[in-house]
Amino acid sequence: MKSSPVIRIADVNDAPEVSRLLRSAMLTYCADSGISSSMLEAMTESIESVADRISRQTCLVAEIDGTVAGSICIKEVPNPMVYTFSDKTCEFLQNAGRSFYISRFAVLGKFRKTGLGIDLITRAVNTARENGAECILLHSAATNKNMVDFYGKRGFELIDAENSRGYLRGLFALRSDSL
């Protein structure tokens, strides 16, 4: 019988496994989104860059039987206006309050649709809530139905979308009244 996942704060020693996980998960993300893997910064990140992010942010990993099966990072964003790309987004972010940003969310293929992703994002949201979040932001391809539905079921709403990276990239937000 397989062990239950253990969700813990990542350590820089997890960087090689997290890097492999991200690359694997992002290939599926690209296929599901209809975008080229060359459009994603996560596909070209070095292990050192992953280790640096782990050391500077709250990065969580889900470990199953000694394998990093999922990861997610969350950080406070002192100025959420850095994510503004339209008047609509600007108007929303001006009133966002204390904001956190989720990035590098990934689950190994064999653990998708098992609840592991739900556990990871719930833990990230709870971490932000415990630290005073009024708004949680994330980006995802607006063309990726699986991810749009996943985030929507967790209370995130699509605020706006833009195409500056060569694909329709949506900004999603979870507001304080949903936290």
Give the residue extent of every domain in the chain. 6-178
Q: What is the third-level CATH fold of 6-178?
A: Aminopeptidase (3.40.630)
Cβ neighbours of residue 135 under 8 Å, at least 6 residues apart? 80, 96, 97, 98, 99, 100, 173, 174, 175, 176
The pLDDT tens digits for 65-100 are 999 999 999 999 999 999 888 899 999 999 899 999
What is the model's pTM?
0.93
The pLDDT tens digits for 36-53 are 988 888 888 999 999 999
Evaluate whether 134 touches 99 at the Cβ level (below 8 Å): yes
